[in-house]
């Protein structure tokens, strides 16, 4: 049997601490071994004031599993109208799986959150499209904050 990664409570605490001091207010631990793996898996810790801009990955599937806290996953139309919001709560709904071709973003609701993101690989940064219509979103308060170098996780 091959075990590539094991995450314990100590690791999750350390990841939350790293997110708290990061300028991006988030941190991640990759469970996959390389960018060319057919499945990309990450454990992500994020603070409530992190900025995760709407994006999509054409031809990919994605899932989120909440480990600690509460997050919203918001989906948007091609012109930026909010279509649907799903709440993942460690005490209620735990998993959301979807076609990542849809415009989406993650917004932490709790002061800090930990979740697992899985997306079909291999990783190709050119396959992620970032929304150009961000300024039309009126109800998403994270966008009122100044992005850090326009950089994303």
Angstrom CA distances, 40 to 13, 60, 83, 124, 131, stand at 22, 11, 27, 11, 22
Q: What is the pLDDT of residues 87-106, one digit of tens each?
A: 999 999 899 999 999 999 99
Other residues' Cβ atoms within 10 Å of the Cβ of residue 29: 18
**Biggest CA-to-CA distance, the chain:** 50
Residue in the block written with tokens 């996959």: 32
Q: What is the pLDDT of residues 26-85, one digit of tens each?
A: 999 988 888 888 888 999 999 999 878 899 998 899 999 999 999 999 999 998 899 999
Q: Which CATH number fits domain 9-144: 2.60.120.10, 2.40.128.120, 3.20.20.70, 3.40.50.150?
A: 2.60.120.10
User: Please, which residues have CB within 8 angstroms of residue 143's CB and are 6 or more apart in sequence?
Assistant: 51, 53, 134, 135, 137
* pLDDT of the residue at 19: 93
* pLDDT of the residue at 62: 95
């Amino acid at each position: 049997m091959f075990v590539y990664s094991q995450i314990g409570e100590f690791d999750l605490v350390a990841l939350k601490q790293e997110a708290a001091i990061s300028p991006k207010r988030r941190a991640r631990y990759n469970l996959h071994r390389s960018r060319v793996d057919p499945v990309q898996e990450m454990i992500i810790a994020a603070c409530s004031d992190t900025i995760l801009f709407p994006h999509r990955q054409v031809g990919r599937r994605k899932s989120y599993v909440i480990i600690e806290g509460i997050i919203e996953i918001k989906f948007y139309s091609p012109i930026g109208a909010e279509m649907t919001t799903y709440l993942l709560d460690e005490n209620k709904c735990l998993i959301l799986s979807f076609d990542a071709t849809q415009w989406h973003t993650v917004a932490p609701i709790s002061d800090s959150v930990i979740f697992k993101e899985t997306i079909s690989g291999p990783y190709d940064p050119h396959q992620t499209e970032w929304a150009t219509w961000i300024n039309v979103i009126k109800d998403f308060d994270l966008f009122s904050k100044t992005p850090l170098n326009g950089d994303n996780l």
